[in-house]
Chain A
Amino acid sequence: MAKLLEMPKLSPTMTEGQLTVWHKKEGDSVAVDDLLAEVETDKATMEFRSFDKGTLLKLLVPPDSLVQLGQPVAIIGEQGEDISKLVPTGGAAAPKQSGAAKNGEATEAQTAAASRPSAPPKATPDAPQPPTANATPNATGTGTATATPTPTATPTANAEGSMPSPDGRVRASPYVRKVARERSIDLSGVAGSGPHGRIVAHDLERAPALPSGRALATHAEADDVRPLSMMRKTIARRLTESKQTVPHFYLTIDVDAAPIARLREQINEDLAAGAPRSANGDAPAPLKVSVNDLLIKACAIALVRVPQCNASFTPEALVFHRRVDISVAVAVPDGLLTPVVRQADRKSVVTIAQEVRDLAARAKAKKLRPEEMSDGTFSISNLGMFGIDAFAAVINPPEGAILAVGKIRAEAVVWEGAVVAGQRLAMTLSCDHRVVDGAVGAKFLAELRSLVERPTQMLVL
């Protein structure tokens, strides 16, 4: 019995996904847990694996399609099975539109003759600019010949049906697109009055100021317009939500970083000296610990000491977490991700260092699982390696605070009445004032300062 395969929920917050590539094609046999496709969710590129076995009878969406949760993407069943009843005729996500077309293809024009609304128009491909060729009416040459021009390729079955697109794509008639090209009109600002918001010629008449006021730059100076990736959409949505709904306040400390820098050097020397050797005597690349790894550990301990800072605000209650799971912001090629180091308070610095290396590498490869990026209780963002002295970070909801770490600065300090060479480190705590008050934040930073300036505490806790 053939069945529709629907877009599964591949991350806890996913509402839609970009199906980027199919790993099976129509006619391929599929076993349970076979990789069907890759889907870019709001969190990562996920593997879409089969829960069924059978033959992949039909792919309902092409690669690089934005697909809603639960929308059918393929049909699986027995080889040669009749799937005509399952193939969506009017666009699966627009069931109201499909009624007119369901009685067979011949009825489309018949409904026109019977003065009822015609079937929905075919969806246009995703390309924002249709080709410019053939704009002139004289492109034919068949006017006097008795030969009939050869029709071009027939549309695919799933090209039928049209729905309002949640991806912000502009729907406009071909004529409107031509006029927009000729007059350099930006259609994204024009409200469409046609079906599904289609911009039709009439809508351009109602926006007479457009050609001069909103003219785009000439082609040579045209902006590089890149469609939003899923990750960029998520960053935009979550950080806007954070800045607009979370009342941020900021506390900054400037600490003596010489002790932690010294400790790091010592740990790394010891790790190199004591690195275990394999049976054939080859030394594996020794693990190194970074200042950031030490700060993760320091924060974890400070959070244990000041649990009011390891908290989340909810409309009903304040939630104080018993676990210390620290999100670490990792820059990736087209955005950033925040993998979580779980129970950092109970892990050694070396274990933390190993985990962060692994998480960061997989974040850059977009291979993190959603659960590895969710449910942190506190965040650390470190821009020291980019030369930033100090900055303030945006809270990663529902966490209650985030620590922004700058670089270790070599500068003159006063030590026992004398000016000496010193190392300083500025850190800014952004707090959600609904759950973390100023005094609580200050208390946390005092503990953190104590841990950073006397870092052997980390070893004895």
Chain B
Amino acid sequence: MPSIRYREALKQAMSEEMTRDERVFLLGEEVGHYQGAYKVSEGMLDKFGPKRVIDAPIAEAGFAGLGIGAAMVGLRPIIEFMTWNFSAVAFDQILCNAAKIRQMSGGQFTVPIVFRAPNGSAAQVGSQHSHAMEHFYAQIPGLKIIAPATPADAKGLLKTAIRDDNPVLCFESETLYSVKGEVPEDTEFLVPMGQANIARPGKDVTVIAWSRIVNVALDAAAKLEKEGIDVEVIDLRSLRPLDTDTLLTSVAKTHRAVVAGEGWPYGGVGAEIVDRIQRLAFDELDAPIERVQTMDVPMPYNAKLEQLVIPQAAGIMDAVKRSLYRA
């Protein structure tokens, strides 16, 4: 199985689906002539031509709405935002159109569209460009949210998303684009949504993460192994639908849970996971569920402060120990 980068896995997914289904097209800023702001769509303009790889003006609300309209009349657009931060400009389109048209039209229209972009912190891009936007969108019924952590999942989940008849939002990461991993070449390689992956089996504590924090959690688990603590790391992969069963099965085994993810601690995906575990696995818990999140501040530009604010392996290790009453 070839080892390729996360960005190449995404391109493979889009290219394979565009080859399979001529209704699929890519629309976004710099996706064509510039070969993608993060080179995810490199070579796609040459391969599919300007009718299917379309450069958009800097007008997120406009091209998000254009994509939704195209989806309503039978096409299957992939909308790339330069980053999820800029989707805030198009939030009304996603909240009120993409997520609502099917319900408001009484099922006359479906909106088979994918929005995708890098999300969360990068490297010193400042407070306005470091948002973890998945928490805002994960609250909305009518949307599906994926957040792949590995190149294989990036390909498999994005292909599933493109084939889904509902709006799907794909949360990538600038710091994951260059990460390499083995990815099946099979054009029918699909990863189902709503199915978490046990990235590392363990018996002492369950650490639940998604996107790039999965790697941070695996790093923490490797260090904790040297201290005799056996951590199970669960990669959620999908935030909505959320694979509650896998979480509960793991907690029934370890009796302790730590939720780690980018994004502010108030509410959000982490809080939702804590709620489900405490409610559905109350009798399994031996300790309060711990959370490791981005600190409750706007992201600092200063590199050292930025690293302090973002969840790190050391913070996850401390939380794991607290849940074991070893802190």
Whether B241 lies near A112 (C-beta < 8 A) is: no
Whether B315 lies near A113 (C-beta < 8 A) is: yes
Q: A106-B266, A118-B290 are in contact. Are A134 and B314 (CB under 8 A)?
A: no
Whether A175 lies near B284 (C-beta < 8 A) is: yes
What residues of B have a CB within 8 angstroms of the CB of A145 in the complex? Answer: 241
List the 4 closest A-B pairs by CB distance, nearest first. Answer: A109-B265, A137-B248, A178-B283, A110-B296
Nearest residue in B to A193 (C-beta to C-beta)? B325
Q: A175-B255, A193-B325 are in contact. Are A110 and B280 (CB under 8 A)?
A: no
- Interface centre among B248, B270, B319, by most chain A C-beta atoms within 10 angstroms, is B248
Whether B275 lies near A107 (C-beta < 8 A) is: no
Contact of A173 among B241, B266, B285 (CB under 8 A): B285
Contact of B286 among A130, A143, A176, A195 (CB under 8 A): A176
Contact of A113 among B276, B283, B294 (CB under 8 A): B294
Interface residues in chain B, defined as those with a beta carbon under 8 Å from any beta carbon in chain A: 139, 141-144, 166, 194, 240-245, 248-249, 251-252, 255, 264-266, 270, 272, 275-276, 279-288, 290-296, 311, 314-315, 318-319, 322, 325, 327
Whether, in the assembled complex, A108 has its beta carbon less than 8 Å from a beta carbon of chain B, the answer is yes
5 more A-B residue pairs beyond the given contacts A118-B290, A135-B284, A175-B286, with a C-beta to C-beta distance below 8 A: A113-B295, A117-B322, A118-B288, A130-B283, A146-B240
Nearest residue in A to B194 (C-beta to C-beta)? A144
Whether B276 lies near A110 (C-beta < 8 A) is: no
A236 to B327, CA, bound (A): 40
Whether, in the assembled complex, A156 has its beta carbon less than 8 Å from a beta carbon of chain B, the answer is no
Distance in Å from the Cβ of A146 to the closest Cβ of chain B? 5
What residues of B have a CB within 8 angstroms of the CB of A138 in the complex? Answer: 245, 248
A194 to B255, CA, bound (A): 15
Nearest residue in B to A120 (C-beta to C-beta)? B288
Q: What are 17 sample pairs from A and B whose C-beta atoms fall under 8 A apart?
A: A107-B296, A114-B295, A114-B315, A121-B288, A137-B280, A140-B244, A142-B241, A143-B243, A146-B141, A146-B241, A148-B139, A148-B240, A173-B285, A174-B285, A174-B286, A175-B285, A195-B325
A151 to B273, CA, bound (A): 11
Distance in Å from the Cβ of A81 to the closest Cβ of chain B? 27
Distance in Å from the Cβ of A296 to the closest Cβ of chain B? 58
Quick one: CB contact mask for A119-163 with B, threshold 8 Å, 1 for yes?
Answer: 001000000001010110111101111111101100000000000
Whether B293 lies near A110 (C-beta < 8 A) is: yes
- Interface centre among A107, A152, A175, by most chain B C-beta atoms within 10 angstroms, is A175
Distance in Å from the Cβ of A89 to the closest Cβ of chain B? 16
Distance in Å from the Cβ of A140 to the closest Cβ of chain B? 5
Whether, in the assembled complex, A177 has its beta carbon less than 8 Å from a beta carbon of chain B, the answer is yes
Whether A109 lies near B282 (C-beta < 8 A) is: no
A144 to B166, CA, bound (A): 14
Distance in Å from the Cβ of A53 to the closest Cβ of chain B? 39
Distance in Å from the Cβ of B122 to the closest Cβ of chain A? 19
Whether B290 lies near A178 (C-beta < 8 A) is: no
What residues of A have a CB within 8 angstroms of the CB of B244 in the complex? Answer: 140, 142-143
What residues of B have a CB within 8 angstroms of the CB of A137 in the complex? Answer: 245, 248-249, 251-252, 280-281, 284
